[in-house]
Homo-oligomer: A and B are copies of this chain.
Amino acid sequence: MTNYTDLNTSERILLGPGPSTAHPRVLRAMAQPLVGHLDPQFLKVMDETQELLRFVFQTENELTLPISATGSAGMEAALCNFIEPGDEVLIGVIGYFGERLCDMAARYGANVRKLEKPWGEVIDPAEIEAELKAKPAKIVAMVHAETSTGAWQPVEEISRIVHNYGGLFLLDCVTSLGGLPVKIDEWEVDIAYSAAQKCLSCPPGLAPLTINDRAREVMCKRKKPTSNWYLDLCLLDNYWGDVRTYHHTAPISTIFALREGLRLAYEEGLEARFKRHRKNAELLWAGFEAMGIELHVPVEIRLPTLTTPRIPDGVDDMLVRKRLLDEYNVEIAGGFSQLAGQVWRIGLMGYSSRRENVTLLLAALKEILNSV
Protein backbone atom coordinates (compact mmCIF):
# COMPACT_ATOMS: atom_id res chain seq x y z
CA MET A 1 0.00 0.00 0.00
CA THR A 2 1.15 3.51 -0.78
CA ASN A 3 1.63 5.71 2.25
CA TYR A 4 -0.44 8.81 1.74
CA THR A 5 0.70 11.10 4.55
CA ASP A 6 -1.23 13.79 6.36
CA LEU A 7 -1.46 16.94 4.30
CA ASN A 8 1.69 18.79 5.21
CA THR A 9 2.08 21.76 2.89
CA SER A 10 4.19 24.75 3.95
CA GLU A 11 2.76 28.02 5.15
CA ARG A 12 3.36 30.10 2.05
CA ILE A 13 3.13 33.87 1.70
CA LEU A 14 1.26 34.21 -1.57
CA LEU A 15 2.44 37.29 -3.47
CA GLY A 16 1.81 35.99 -6.97
CA PRO A 17 -1.06 36.81 -9.33
CA GLY A 18 -3.45 34.66 -7.28
CA PRO A 19 -4.50 32.85 -5.24
CA SER A 20 -3.61 35.39 -2.58
CA THR A 21 -3.27 34.27 1.03
CA ALA A 22 -6.68 33.38 2.41
CA HIS A 23 -7.59 35.30 5.54
CA PRO A 24 -7.52 33.06 8.67
CA ARG A 25 -11.16 33.96 9.40
CA VAL A 26 -12.07 32.79 5.91
CA LEU A 27 -10.36 29.43 6.48
CA ARG A 28 -12.16 29.01 9.80
CA ALA A 29 -15.55 29.80 8.29
CA MET A 30 -14.87 27.34 5.48
CA ALA A 31 -14.21 24.54 8.01
CA GLN A 32 -17.65 24.98 9.62
CA PRO A 33 -19.59 21.67 9.40
CA LEU A 34 -21.79 21.43 6.31
CA VAL A 35 -25.48 22.18 6.23
CA GLY A 36 -27.76 21.08 3.41
CA HIS A 37 -27.96 23.26 0.30
CA LEU A 38 -31.69 23.78 0.83
CA ASP A 39 -31.46 24.23 4.61
CA PRO A 40 -33.20 27.49 5.67
CA GLN A 41 -29.97 28.43 7.42
CA PHE A 42 -28.06 28.05 4.17
CA LEU A 43 -30.63 30.03 2.19
CA LYS A 44 -29.96 32.90 4.61
CA VAL A 45 -26.21 32.55 3.97
CA MET A 46 -26.93 32.71 0.22
CA ASP A 47 -29.02 35.88 0.64
CA GLU A 48 -26.34 37.57 2.71
CA THR A 49 -23.64 36.55 0.25
CA GLN A 50 -25.61 38.18 -2.55
CA GLU A 51 -26.10 41.37 -0.51
CA LEU A 52 -22.40 41.55 0.26
CA LEU A 53 -21.48 40.90 -3.37
CA ARG A 54 -23.68 43.86 -4.35
CA PHE A 55 -21.75 45.90 -1.79
CA VAL A 56 -18.32 45.14 -3.28
CA PHE A 57 -19.59 45.46 -6.88
CA GLN A 58 -21.24 48.78 -5.85
CA THR A 59 -24.45 47.74 -7.55
CA GLU A 60 -28.15 47.26 -6.98
CA ASN A 61 -28.30 44.53 -9.65
CA GLU A 62 -30.67 41.80 -8.53
CA LEU A 63 -28.86 39.16 -10.56
CA THR A 64 -25.66 39.16 -8.53
CA LEU A 65 -24.34 35.77 -7.43
CA PRO A 66 -21.25 33.60 -7.22
CA ILE A 67 -20.81 31.11 -10.05
CA SER A 68 -19.99 27.68 -8.53
CA ALA A 69 -16.60 27.33 -10.21
CA THR A 70 -13.41 29.37 -10.58
CA GLY A 71 -12.96 32.78 -12.23
CA SER A 72 -12.58 31.30 -15.71
CA ALA A 73 -16.10 29.93 -15.43
CA GLY A 74 -17.24 33.43 -14.48
CA MET A 75 -15.72 34.64 -17.72
CA GLU A 76 -17.48 31.89 -19.65
CA ALA A 77 -20.84 32.62 -17.95
CA ALA A 78 -20.44 36.29 -18.86
CA LEU A 79 -20.09 35.34 -22.52
CA CYS A 80 -22.14 32.19 -23.15
CA ASN A 81 -25.38 33.62 -21.81
CA PHE A 82 -25.32 36.59 -24.18
CA ILE A 83 -23.68 35.36 -27.35
CA GLU A 84 -25.72 33.70 -30.08
CA PRO A 85 -24.07 32.34 -33.22
CA GLY A 86 -23.13 35.13 -35.60
CA ASP A 87 -23.13 37.90 -33.00
CA GLU A 88 -20.54 40.64 -33.37
CA VAL A 89 -18.25 40.84 -30.34
CA LEU A 90 -15.45 43.37 -29.96
CA ILE A 91 -12.76 42.47 -27.46
CA GLY A 92 -10.02 44.68 -26.08
CA VAL A 93 -6.90 42.55 -25.78
CA ILE A 94 -4.21 44.02 -23.53
CA GLY A 95 -2.88 40.69 -22.28
CA TYR A 96 -3.55 36.99 -21.81
CA PHE A 97 -7.03 37.26 -20.35
CA GLY A 98 -8.23 39.30 -23.29
CA GLU A 99 -7.01 36.47 -25.52
CA ARG A 100 -8.99 34.02 -23.43
CA LEU A 101 -12.14 36.12 -23.87
CA CYS A 102 -11.62 35.85 -27.64
CA ASP A 103 -11.15 32.07 -27.51
CA MET A 104 -14.30 31.54 -25.43
CA ALA A 105 -16.46 33.95 -27.43
CA ALA A 106 -15.46 32.28 -30.69
CA ARG A 107 -16.42 28.86 -29.30
CA TYR A 108 -19.97 30.14 -28.83
CA GLY A 109 -20.12 31.24 -32.44
CA ALA A 110 -19.36 34.95 -32.11
CA ASN A 111 -17.68 36.93 -34.86
CA VAL A 112 -14.79 38.11 -32.75
CA ARG A 113 -12.98 41.33 -33.54
CA LYS A 114 -9.82 41.99 -31.52
CA LEU A 115 -8.49 45.40 -30.60
CA GLU A 116 -4.96 44.54 -29.54
CA LYS A 117 -2.26 46.46 -27.68
CA PRO A 118 1.25 45.46 -26.65
CA TRP A 119 1.29 43.84 -23.20
CA GLY A 120 1.59 46.60 -20.61
CA GLU A 121 -0.46 49.21 -22.46
CA VAL A 122 -4.18 49.95 -22.36
CA ILE A 123 -6.82 50.89 -24.92
CA ASP A 124 -7.83 54.46 -25.68
CA PRO A 125 -11.58 55.21 -25.73
CA ALA A 126 -11.14 56.78 -29.19
CA GLU A 127 -9.96 53.43 -30.55
CA ILE A 128 -13.12 51.74 -29.32
CA GLU A 129 -15.21 54.50 -30.85
CA ALA A 130 -13.45 54.12 -34.21
CA GLU A 131 -14.07 50.36 -34.17
CA LEU A 132 -17.75 50.74 -33.33
CA LYS A 133 -18.20 53.48 -35.91
CA ALA A 134 -16.77 51.12 -38.53
CA LYS A 135 -19.04 48.29 -37.40
CA PRO A 136 -21.26 48.04 -34.31
CA ALA A 137 -20.95 45.16 -31.84
CA LYS A 138 -23.51 43.46 -29.63
CA ILE A 139 -20.94 43.09 -26.86
CA VAL A 140 -17.73 44.97 -26.11
CA ALA A 141 -15.58 43.09 -23.61
CA MET A 142 -12.53 44.32 -21.74
CA VAL A 143 -10.27 43.40 -18.86
CA HIS A 144 -10.22 45.97 -16.07
CA ALA A 145 -7.04 44.73 -14.40
CA GLU A 146 -4.83 42.59 -16.65
CA THR A 147 -3.26 39.93 -14.42
CA SER A 148 -0.75 39.04 -17.10
CA THR A 149 0.70 42.56 -17.42
CA GLY A 150 -0.24 44.71 -14.42
CA ALA A 151 -2.03 47.32 -16.54
CA TRP A 152 -5.13 49.13 -15.30
CA GLN A 153 -7.64 49.81 -18.06
CA PRO A 154 -9.76 52.97 -17.55
CA VAL A 155 -13.32 52.06 -18.49
CA GLU A 156 -15.82 54.78 -17.60
CA GLU A 157 -15.63 56.64 -20.88
CA ILE A 158 -15.50 53.43 -22.89
CA SER A 159 -18.73 52.26 -21.25
CA ARG A 160 -20.44 55.48 -22.40
CA ILE A 161 -19.20 54.97 -25.95
CA VAL A 162 -20.31 51.33 -26.06
CA HIS A 163 -23.81 52.35 -25.00
CA ASN A 164 -23.92 55.17 -27.54
CA TYR A 165 -23.40 52.50 -30.18
CA GLY A 166 -26.06 50.22 -28.66
CA GLY A 167 -23.77 47.52 -27.28
CA LEU A 168 -23.46 45.72 -23.97
CA PHE A 169 -20.35 46.51 -21.94
CA LEU A 170 -18.71 43.45 -20.36
CA LEU A 171 -15.92 43.88 -17.81
CA ASP A 172 -13.49 41.33 -16.35
CA CYS A 173 -12.91 42.45 -12.74
CA VAL A 174 -10.90 39.44 -11.60
CA THR A 175 -7.90 41.35 -10.25
CA SER A 176 -9.76 44.54 -9.36
CA LEU A 177 -12.85 43.62 -7.31
CA GLY A 178 -12.17 44.39 -3.65
CA GLY A 179 -8.76 45.94 -4.35
CA LEU A 180 -9.61 49.04 -6.37
CA PRO A 181 -12.86 50.83 -7.29
CA VAL A 182 -15.31 48.75 -9.34
CA LYS A 183 -18.45 50.88 -9.73
CA ILE A 184 -20.81 48.71 -11.70
CA ASP A 185 -23.85 50.99 -11.48
CA GLU A 186 -22.10 54.36 -11.75
CA TRP A 187 -20.10 53.19 -14.78
CA GLU A 188 -23.09 51.33 -16.23
CA VAL A 189 -21.20 48.10 -16.69
CA ASP A 190 -23.76 45.61 -18.04
CA ILE A 191 -21.96 42.34 -17.29
CA ALA A 192 -19.11 41.83 -14.84
CA TYR A 193 -17.40 38.96 -13.07
CA SER A 194 -14.50 38.36 -10.74
CA ALA A 195 -12.84 35.56 -8.77
CA ALA A 196 -12.82 34.79 -5.05
CA GLN A 197 -9.09 34.13 -4.72
CA LYS A 198 -7.74 37.56 -5.59
CA CYS A 199 -8.59 40.72 -3.63
CA LEU A 200 -11.34 38.99 -1.63
CA SER A 201 -8.84 36.68 0.13
CA CYS A 202 -10.89 33.53 -0.33
CA PRO A 203 -9.80 30.17 -1.74
CA PRO A 204 -10.33 29.70 -5.48
CA GLY A 205 -13.59 28.04 -6.49
CA LEU A 206 -16.16 30.81 -6.87
CA ALA A 207 -16.65 33.55 -9.45
CA PRO A 208 -18.76 36.54 -8.35
CA LEU A 209 -20.89 37.77 -11.23
CA THR A 210 -23.36 40.59 -11.72
CA ILE A 211 -25.55 41.64 -14.65
CA ASN A 212 -27.95 44.55 -14.98
CA ASP A 213 -31.47 44.62 -16.40
CA ARG A 214 -30.28 45.59 -19.87
CA ALA A 215 -28.11 42.46 -20.05
CA ARG A 216 -30.83 40.36 -18.44
CA GLU A 217 -33.28 41.37 -21.15
CA VAL A 218 -30.84 40.36 -23.89
CA MET A 219 -30.36 37.02 -22.15
CA CYS A 220 -34.09 36.38 -21.76
CA LYS A 221 -34.74 37.15 -25.42
CA ARG A 222 -32.34 34.52 -26.75
CA LYS A 223 -33.68 32.34 -29.54
CA LYS A 224 -32.30 29.19 -27.86
CA PRO A 225 -30.93 28.52 -24.38
CA THR A 226 -27.14 28.61 -24.18
CA SER A 227 -25.49 25.24 -24.80
CA ASN A 228 -23.84 25.58 -21.38
CA TRP A 229 -26.26 24.08 -18.86
CA TYR A 230 -24.08 24.53 -15.77
CA LEU A 231 -23.55 28.24 -16.42
CA ASP A 232 -27.07 29.02 -17.72
CA LEU A 233 -27.92 32.20 -15.81
CA CYS A 234 -31.66 31.72 -16.37
CA LEU A 235 -31.48 28.48 -14.39
CA LEU A 236 -29.06 29.95 -11.82
CA ASP A 237 -31.33 32.95 -11.36
CA ASN A 238 -34.19 30.62 -10.42
CA TYR A 239 -31.97 28.86 -7.89
CA TRP A 240 -30.44 31.96 -6.28
CA GLY A 241 -33.59 34.07 -6.67
CA ASP A 242 -36.91 33.73 -4.86
CA VAL A 243 -38.00 30.58 -6.69
CA ARG A 244 -35.18 28.38 -5.32
CA THR A 245 -35.60 25.81 -8.10
CA TYR A 246 -32.94 23.15 -7.67
CA HIS A 247 -30.16 23.45 -10.23
CA HIS A 248 -26.89 22.13 -8.84
CA THR A 249 -25.74 21.52 -5.26
CA ALA A 250 -24.17 24.78 -4.14
CA PRO A 251 -20.57 24.45 -2.90
CA ILE A 252 -21.57 25.09 0.73
CA SER A 253 -18.10 25.44 2.26
CA THR A 254 -16.66 27.81 -0.31
CA ILE A 255 -19.79 29.95 0.00
CA PHE A 256 -19.24 30.03 3.78
CA ALA A 257 -15.72 31.20 2.93
CA LEU A 258 -16.86 33.83 0.45
CA ARG A 259 -19.41 35.27 2.86
CA GLU A 260 -16.61 35.68 5.41
CA GLY A 261 -14.22 37.24 2.89
CA LEU A 262 -16.93 39.68 1.86
CA ARG A 263 -17.79 40.42 5.48
CA LEU A 264 -14.14 41.38 6.03
CA ALA A 265 -14.39 43.84 3.13
CA TYR A 266 -17.64 45.21 4.55
CA GLU A 267 -16.08 45.72 7.98
CA GLU A 268 -12.98 47.39 6.56
CA GLY A 269 -15.00 49.61 4.19
CA LEU A 270 -14.24 49.91 0.50
CA GLU A 271 -12.44 53.27 0.65
CA ALA A 272 -10.13 52.13 3.45
CA ARG A 273 -9.51 48.89 1.61
CA PHE A 274 -8.56 50.60 -1.63
CA LYS A 275 -6.28 52.98 0.29
CA ARG A 276 -4.52 50.05 1.95
CA HIS A 277 -3.93 48.36 -1.41
CA ARG A 278 -2.63 51.63 -2.85
CA LYS A 279 -0.34 52.37 0.08
CA ASN A 280 1.29 48.95 0.14
CA ALA A 281 1.71 48.98 -3.63
CA GLU A 282 3.43 52.37 -3.44
CA LEU A 283 5.80 51.02 -0.80
CA LEU A 284 6.64 48.15 -3.12
CA TRP A 285 7.16 50.46 -6.10
CA ALA A 286 9.42 52.77 -4.07
CA GLY A 287 11.41 49.74 -2.94
CA PHE A 288 11.97 48.59 -6.51
CA GLU A 289 12.93 52.07 -7.63
CA ALA A 290 15.45 52.27 -4.78
CA MET A 291 16.90 48.97 -6.00
CA GLY A 292 17.15 50.34 -9.53
CA ILE A 293 14.58 47.90 -10.82
CA GLU A 294 12.28 49.29 -13.48
CA LEU A 295 8.53 48.75 -13.44
CA HIS A 296 7.01 47.57 -16.72
CA VAL A 297 3.78 49.59 -16.53
CA PRO A 298 3.81 53.43 -16.31
CA VAL A 299 2.48 54.73 -13.01
CA GLU A 300 -0.64 56.32 -14.53
CA ILE A 301 -2.04 52.94 -15.57
CA ARG A 302 -0.24 50.73 -13.05
CA LEU A 303 -2.39 48.40 -10.94
CA PRO A 304 -2.02 48.60 -7.17
CA THR A 305 -3.00 44.92 -6.99
CA LEU A 306 -0.43 43.51 -9.42
CA THR A 307 3.05 44.90 -10.07
CA THR A 308 5.36 43.80 -12.87
CA PRO A 309 8.99 44.72 -12.17
CA ARG A 310 11.33 44.11 -15.10
CA ILE A 311 13.85 41.39 -14.32
CA PRO A 312 17.33 42.99 -14.24
CA ASP A 313 19.74 41.89 -16.97
CA GLY A 314 21.66 38.75 -16.16
CA VAL A 315 19.34 37.68 -13.35
CA ASP A 316 18.04 34.11 -13.52
CA ASP A 317 14.24 34.45 -13.32
CA MET A 318 13.49 30.87 -12.30
CA LEU A 319 16.31 30.64 -9.78
CA VAL A 320 15.21 33.79 -7.96
CA ARG A 321 11.64 32.57 -7.74
CA LYS A 322 12.72 29.12 -6.59
CA ARG A 323 14.90 30.60 -3.86
CA LEU A 324 12.12 32.93 -2.72
CA LEU A 325 9.84 29.93 -2.38
CA ASP A 326 12.29 27.44 -0.88
CA GLU A 327 14.17 29.75 1.44
CA TYR A 328 11.55 32.35 2.38
CA ASN A 329 8.21 30.62 1.66
CA VAL A 330 7.33 33.56 -0.56
CA GLU A 331 5.57 32.92 -3.86
CA ILE A 332 5.75 35.34 -6.77
CA ALA A 333 5.19 34.48 -10.44
CA GLY A 334 7.01 34.99 -13.71
CA GLY A 335 5.68 36.58 -16.84
CA PHE A 336 4.39 34.52 -19.72
CA SER A 337 3.87 34.68 -23.45
CA GLN A 338 5.05 38.15 -24.61
CA LEU A 339 6.51 38.88 -21.16
CA ALA A 340 8.09 35.49 -20.35
CA GLY A 341 11.47 35.97 -18.71
CA GLN A 342 11.06 39.76 -18.80
CA VAL A 343 8.99 40.53 -15.73
CA TRP A 344 7.95 39.13 -12.41
CA ARG A 345 4.35 39.32 -11.37
CA ILE A 346 3.78 40.38 -7.79
CA GLY A 347 0.33 40.50 -6.32
CA LEU A 348 -0.60 42.47 -3.23
CA MET A 349 -4.23 41.51 -2.96
CA GLY A 350 -6.66 41.20 -0.10
CA TYR A 351 -5.02 39.74 3.00
CA SER A 352 -1.70 39.53 1.13
CA SER A 353 -1.61 43.34 0.88
CA ARG A 354 0.18 43.97 4.18
CA ARG A 355 3.22 46.08 5.01
CA GLU A 356 5.14 43.13 6.48
CA ASN A 357 4.81 41.26 3.20
CA VAL A 358 6.24 44.18 1.22
CA THR A 359 9.16 44.58 3.61
CA LEU A 360 9.90 40.85 3.61
CA LEU A 361 9.71 40.52 -0.17
CA LEU A 362 12.01 43.48 -0.83
CA ALA A 363 14.53 42.35 1.79
CA ALA A 364 14.49 38.74 0.56
CA LEU A 365 14.94 39.85 -3.04
CA LYS A 366 17.90 42.00 -2.02
CA GLU A 367 19.51 39.09 -0.22
CA ILE A 368 19.04 36.82 -3.21
CA LEU A 369 20.18 39.34 -5.82
CA ASN A 370 23.27 40.24 -3.77
CA SER A 371 24.25 36.59 -3.35
CA VAL A 372 24.35 35.63 -7.03
Binding site for B on A (CB under 8 A): 1-2, 4, 7, 9-12, 14, 16, 18-19, 21-22, 27-39, 41-42, 45, 48, 51-52, 68-73, 76, 80, 100, 103-104, 107-109, 195, 197, 203-205, 225-231, 246-254, 256-257, 259-260, 263, 266, 325, 331, 333, 336
On chain B, the residues within 8 Å of A205 by CB distance are 68, 205, 251, 253-254
Q: Report yes or no: A69 in contact with B69, Cβ–Cβ below 8 A.
A: yes
Given known A19-B37, A254-B253, A331-B39, contact A108–B69 (CB-CB < 8 A): no
On chain B, the residues within 8 Å of A28 by CB distance are 31
Please, how many angstroms separate the alpha-carbon atoms of A109 and B225 in the complex? 12
Q: Report yes or no: A230 in contact with B266, Cβ–Cβ below 8 A.
A: no
Q: Report yes or no: A36 in contact with B48, Cβ–Cβ below 8 A.
A: no
Please, how many angstroms separate the alpha-carbon atoms of A34 and B109 in the complex? 37
Q: Report yes or no: B204 in contact with A7, Cβ–Cβ below 8 A.
A: no
On chain B, the residues within 8 Å of A226 by CB distance are 107
Please, how many angstroms separate the alpha-carbon atoms of A245 and B123 in the complex? 28
Name A's interface SS. loop
**A-B contacts besides A72-B229, A204-B252, A246-B336, 12 pairs, CB < 8 Å:** A4-B263, A4-B266, A7-B260, A12-B39, A14-B35, A69-B73, A71-B248, A72-B248, A107-B225, A203-B251, A203-B254, A251-B254
On chain B, the residues within 8 Å of A36 by CB distance are 12, 14, 16, 19, 331, 333
Please, how many angstroms separate the alpha-carbon atoms of A74 and B179 in the complex? 33
Q: Report yes or no: B12 in contact with A33, Cβ–Cβ below 8 A.
A: yes
Given known A36-B12, A248-B70, A254-B251, contact A229–B19 (CB-CB < 8 A): no
Q: Report yes or no: A7 in contact with B45, Cβ–Cβ below 8 A.
A: yes
Q: Which residue of the partner chain, among B2, B22, B27, B45, contacts A9 with CB atoms under 8 Å?
A: B45
Q: Report yes or no: A9 in contact with B31, Cβ–Cβ below 8 A.
A: no
On chain B, the residues within 8 Å of A325 by CB distance are 39
On chain B, the residues within 8 Å of A4 by CB distance are 48, 52, 259, 263, 266
Q: Report yes or no: B37 in contact with A11, Cβ–Cβ below 8 A.
A: no
Q: Report yes or no: B72 in contact with A247, Cβ–Cβ below 8 A.
A: yes
Q: Report yes or no: A68 in contact with B71, Cβ–Cβ below 8 A.
A: no
On chain B, the residues within 8 Å of A254 by CB distance are 203, 205, 251, 253-254
A12 to chain B, nearest CB (A): 5
On chain B, the residues within 8 Å of A51 by CB distance are 2
Q: Which residue of the partner chain, among B7, B34, B100, B259, contacts A29 with CB atoms under 8 Å?
A: B7
Chain B's closest residue to A257 (CB) is B253
Chain B's closest residue to A100 (CB) is B229
Q: Which residue of the partner chain, among B52, B70, B109, B259, contacts A251 with CB atoms under 8 Å?
A: B70
Please, how many angstroms separate the alpha-carbon atoms of A235 and B113 in the complex? 24
On chain B, the residues within 8 Å of A9 by CB distance are 32-33, 35, 39, 41-42, 45, 256
A218 to chain B, nearest CB (A): 19
Given known A4-B266, A7-B259, A225-B107, contact A253–B203 (CB-CB < 8 A): yes
Q: Report yes or no: B69 in contact with A230, Cβ–Cβ below 8 A.
A: yes
Q: Report yes or no: B30 in contact with A253, Cβ–Cβ below 8 A.
A: yes
On chain B, the residues within 8 Å of A252 by CB distance are 19, 203-204
A262 to chain B, nearest CB (A): 8
Please, how many angstroms separate the alpha-carbon atoms of A41 and B10 in the complex? 8
Q: Report yes or no: A249 in contact with B204, Cβ–Cβ below 8 A.
A: yes
Q: Which residue of the partner chain, among B34, B204, B246, contacts A14 with CB atoms under 8 Å?
A: B34
Given known A22-B33, A34-B22, contact A204–B251 (CB-CB < 8 A): yes
